[in-house]
Structure 1
Amino acid sequence: MSPDDAQHQAIRDHNLRAAAENTANEQRFADPVDGGAGFSFNGRWTRRDWAHASLFATLGALVLGLVPGFSNAMRTSEVAPALTTFALPLPPLASVQRAAQHRNWELVKVESGQTLGAIFEARGIPAATLHRLLDAAPDRQALTRLRPGAELAFEQAADGRLLAFRYDRNDTQRVELSLSGDKVAEKVIERPVEIRTAVVSGKVGKSLFHSARKLGLSPVVINTLTDEVFQYDIDFDRDVTSGDRFSVVVEQTWREGELIRSGPVTAAVFTAKGKPFTAIRFERDGKGEYFTAEGRPLKKSFIRSPIQYARLSSRFGKRRHPVLGTSRMHKGVDYAARSGTPIMAAGEARVVSAGWHGGYGNTVVLDHGKGYSTLYAHMSRTAKLKRGQRVSQGQVIGYVGSTGLSTGPHLHYEFRINGVHRNPLQHTMPPPEPLSGTALAQFRKQTAPALDRIREVEEIIYATVPARPTQDDPKVAVARVAPGAKKG
């Protein structure tokens, strides 16, 4: 036998002896001793016992290391609470769908010349349904006389049947008419409005109208400035240039966060060619008028120009007549404008004549009293005027044309004092009588806050902006003050 074989045989013998001893120990542990205790331990561990204990401990550590979370999973499963389920009653699906639906209103804005019947017909709603609504509506006459821009709303079923109709009775009330079978139910919804006083200030860029509209001023307010407030002192066709500025104190009516109306103009300052013109609204004898800061009425006996947005094409003085070709005195001024442009009376007057007047063509002559008279020539047609009829300042008396000795559509305007022709662009009328006494004191007390607001806003805005903006940058700005002045 080789040495290796002898070594292997010795190891096998040792293992057999160890197995025999283990068998003997197991039998000793299993056999009952001393009355059936089932286990006997003499209190001493052999070397083999410690080896077995170490082996089992190592195996246990390996199991725990190879299966992380095993003990946690076992612990969690031990303490996991029991789950309980039970049924809850749910509403029918159709009810849930009905509750989630929103009313589908379709808005319609009334256009010029449109009637309520035409609007209903366009939406496929029978005339009988319209008559049912009109019979039930308390504002039948208001509905049959709709104004352009009025907003209506319709709620219709999938088959086109009208379910409800809505309209605004006024600024603060909205009426909703619901149809159910043969019945019409009315619901009035209150819509409170808020009146704010705003100061709007800006510089003229491309045009006054463009800049003012960009600020949010309505066309009505702009026309008030040009055609009523400053028409006596400023010629908006010739005197206004880019860089001139304007500031307006105006009342604004707001509803549900929307601006619905502007006006009237409470105060305004317009600076043209470096010269400021101030206007303040004040009621005298129950009628609103505009005055200067000193309390002098802005309204004069004559307006600067009897035609709006026209170009001065010929001045007062000696010139060569464009038709006759002779040099002669031009006793008035000419305003070139499109045919049909309205012509206004320069002041309160009585009609002297209205009709054909030789080389003047269709002509109107007015007598303003105290020796003052005006003539308007080359009209395409005159208004319906009679001799001796009274006309008010700004009233339309005819329309631009090219009748008589004329080479193109324009207005020839003459101004006379005691029969003598005067230059209407240079002649100044005596200033009207200013306010005095109690009326003046009331005027100053009432209008001072408006002027202070304009002054504060202009100091803020124009202290930092360039003196003359470009046409593409009008440098407009808005400052609102005193929000929530009134509620209704």
Structure 2
Amino acid sequence: MPYFPRRHLMLVTGVSILLLLLIGLVPSTDVEANRTRITLEIDAFKEEPPENDISRRTRPFLSKELNEAPEPDSEAIRLARKEAERQAKERAALGRWQSIVIASGDNLSSLFAQQGLGARVVYNISQTPDFGKQLANIRPGQTLEFRVNHNGELTQFRYVRDRLSSILFQQTADGYSAEEVILEPQIRTAYAEGEITNSLFLASQRAGLTDGLTMELAGIFGWDIDFALDIRSGDSFSVVYEERYLADDNGDQKLGNGNILAATFVNNGKDYTAIRYTDKNGNSSYYTPDGKSMRKAFLRTPVDFTRISSNFNPDRLHPVFKTKRPHRGVDYAAPTGTPIKAAGDGRISFAGWQNGFGNVVFIEHPNNIVTVYAHQSRLNKRLRKGSRVNQGDVIGYVGSTGWATGPHLHYEFRVNGVHRNPVTVKLPDAKPVPKSEMARFKQHKTGILAQLDHHQKAHQKTMLAAAQ
């Protein structure tokens, strides 16, 4: 048996043990593959960019919102439903509206009683600041609207004065508050024209004008044309005027007519044109195209009369005394009680009784002009010597006092103490358009006359087409 040195044996033994340890530590092929896969997965996860702080905080909230997001329009539907519920609760709390049309003989207390409301409520409503006292002016045909809740309390009340204005009263802790509601109508323009064969009123009716517009038309041209004496067959007129409309649930409702904006009148071959102009201060009047006032300083006739019963005549036979006595005025026959108007601006110099004149008024005007109004049934109670009157103010009423045989107005026109014929005297003009307003007036005139001309030409074409 060979001899190995002891040191060599120990070296071999150590190497063998080391080899056995190495063999035991080396894994099989499957184990190595698994270990590699796991290591790669872990490494791949580690290679993703790290989540920042904001995304880490918002992720839970975003997830919650996504999970709880409502269906399309559900939020709008919910809000609409909530508003409908609120309105339903409000209606229930306030009560339903009930309307009453005021009839002849009704009063505020009786109308409130129909709604189960007593005198205390009537008193509280009538004491509402600013507007309560207006309830004393209710008239037949107007409307009252009530809102009474289930407790019998008047929660809201509306006084409808007309289609454009009302007063709304609302219950408060210590009574009622009120506000005025004014609706603005739409203004549209309309056109009409006509030719006179018998009378202005008949021609106006055929043209579609109301009596009110006809009276306004006569008033505009009344200083130049005597519509009782000067109208001739063949005279004609054309008018541009306003119509007022109110838009409501039933569509556009016509409320009525407004002002005449421009008009022409042909009387006995002579043309007259009038334009309505409103100045910077809001004052409106009618002017000729060159800016002169259509008004005169005096009315041609200060009363609406049926006929002239006696003309201005220096040699008239007096109807009472049967002697020749000058008739220094004009007698306008009219029914007793017909209003008499001041012919022009001036000051009362006498108002009372004089034997021949009966109840009479004297008015002094500028430029030494005096007008006299005699035989009145009664005078305006507010007239006093020295008091001022404006053109058109009612100063008294037609009668037959003094030396009169029937109801009429005896009217005199004196210039510097000399009697002049009121029917033929040249009347002074009123003030024209001020120079400071002339540029603005001309601009307005151009537009409204172009509109009038357009309507006239269109009407002529229509008439020619109809005649063919």
Instruction: Give the TM-score, by structure 1 length.
Output: 0.62
- For residues 439 and 405 of structure 2, what CA distance do their matches in structure 1 show? 55
2:312 to 299, 316, 320: 316
Could you say which structure has the greater relative contact order, defined with CA pairs below 8 angstroms and 6 or more residues apart? 1
Secondary structure of residue in 2 paired with 1:448: helix
- Alignment-derived partner of residue 143 in structure 2: 151
1:254 aligns with 2:242: no
Query: Structure 2 matches for 1:262-411, cutoff 5 A?
Result: 262-284=257-279, 286=281, 287-317=283-313, 318-384=315-381, 385-411=383-409
Query: Structure 2 matches for 1:87-102, cutoff 5 A?
Result: none
Q: 1:106-163 CA deviation, whole Å, 9 max, x = no partner? A: 551566x864335445787644554566678994344343356533346899xx9999
- For residues 117 and 301 of structure 1, what CA distance do their matches in structure 2 show? 50
One-letter code aligned to 1:449:
G
Q: 1:269-293 CA deviation, whole Å, 9 max, x = no partner? A: 2333443322212234622221111
Q: 1:205 to 1:193 in 2, by over 3 A?
A: farther
Secondary structure of residue in 2 paired with 1:364: strand
- Kept in 2, the 8 Å contact 1:354–1:362? The answer is yes
Query: Structure 2 matches for 1:178-189, cutoff 5 A?
Result: none
Report the CA distance between 1:172 and its aligned residue: 5.9
- Kept in 1, the 8 Å contact 2:101–2:141? The answer is no
One-letter code aligned to 1:398:
G
Secondary structure of residue in 2 paired with 1:387: coil
- Kept in 2, the 8 Å contact 1:199–1:453? The answer is no
Q: 1:172 to 1:435 in 2, by over 3 A?
A: closer
Q: 1:206-249 CA deviation, whole Å, 9 max, x = no partner? A: 7545665676756654443334x223122232233565443333
- For residues 416 and 190 of structure 1, what CA distance do their matches in structure 2 show? 51
- Kept in 1, the 8 Å contact 2:349–2:364? The answer is yes
- For residues 188 and 387 of structure 2, what CA distance do their matches in structure 1 show? 41
- Alignment-derived partner of residue 117 in structure 1: 109
Secondary structure of residue in 2 paired with 1:454: helix
Secondary structure of residue in 1 paired with 2:229: coil
- For residues 234 and 114 of structure 1, what CA distance do their matches in structure 2 show? 46
Report the CA distance between 1:452 and its aligned residue: 1.8
- Alignment-derived partner of residue 446 in structure 1: 444
- Kept in 2, the 8 Å contact 1:349–1:366? The answer is yes
- Kept in 2, the 8 Å contact 1:109–1:149? The answer is yes
Report the CA distance between 1:251 and its aligned residue: 3.1
Q: 1:174 to 1:388 in 2, by over 3 A?
A: closer
- For residues 207 and 121 of structure 1, what CA distance do their matches in structure 2 show? 52
- Kept in 1, the 8 Å contact 2:146–2:158? The answer is yes
Secondary structure of residue in 2 paired with 1:324: coil
Consecutive unaligned residues in structure 2, runs of 5 or more:
1-95
- Kept in 1, the 8 Å contact 2:156–2:169? The answer is yes
Report the CA distance between 1:336 and its aligned residue: 0.4
CA RMSD of aligned residues (A): 4.3
Q: 1:402 to 1:138 in 2, by over 3 A?
A: closer
1:197 to 168, 188, 191: 188
- Kept in 2, the 8 Å contact 1:104–1:155? The answer is yes
- For residues 147 and 208 of structure 2, what CA distance do their matches in structure 1 show? 32
Secondary structure of residue in 2 paired with 1:321: coil
How many residues are aligned here? 364
One-letter code aligned to 1:411:
L
Q: 1:402 to 1:154 in 2, by over 3 A?
A: same
Report the CA distance between 1:262 and its aligned residue: 3.1
Q: 1:242-271 CA deviation, whole Å, 9 max, x = no partner? A: 654433333333113222243233222233
Q: 1:404 to 1:191 in 2, by over 3 A?
A: closer
Report the CA distance between 1:332 and its aligned residue: 1.1
One-letter code aligned to 1:409:
P
One-letter code aligned to 2:393:
Q
Q: 1:148 to 1:281 in 2, by over 3 A?
A: farther
Report the CA distance between 1:333 and its aligned residue: 0.9
- For residues 151 and 297 of structure 1, what CA distance do their matches in structure 2 show? 42
Report the CA distance between 1:433 and its aligned residue: 5.4
- For residues 147 and 216 of structure 1, what CA distance do their matches in structure 2 show? 30
Q: 1:121 to 1:313 in 2, by over 3 A?
A: farther
Report the CA distance between 1:428 and its aligned residue: 0.5
Q: 1:186 to 1:410 in 2, by over 3 A?
A: closer
- For residues 417 and 321 of structure 2, what CA distance do their matches in structure 1 show? 24
- For residues 118 and 343 of structure 1, what CA distance do their matches in structure 2 show? 40
- For residues 280 and 225 of structure 1, what CA distance do their matches in structure 2 show? 12
Query: Structure 2 matches for 1:64-143, cutoff 5 A?
Result: 106-109=99-102, 115-120=107-112, 126-128=118-120, 130-131=122-123, 139-143=131-135
- Kept in 2, the 8 Å contact 1:166–1:176? The answer is yes
Secondary structure of residue in 2 paired with 1:224: helix
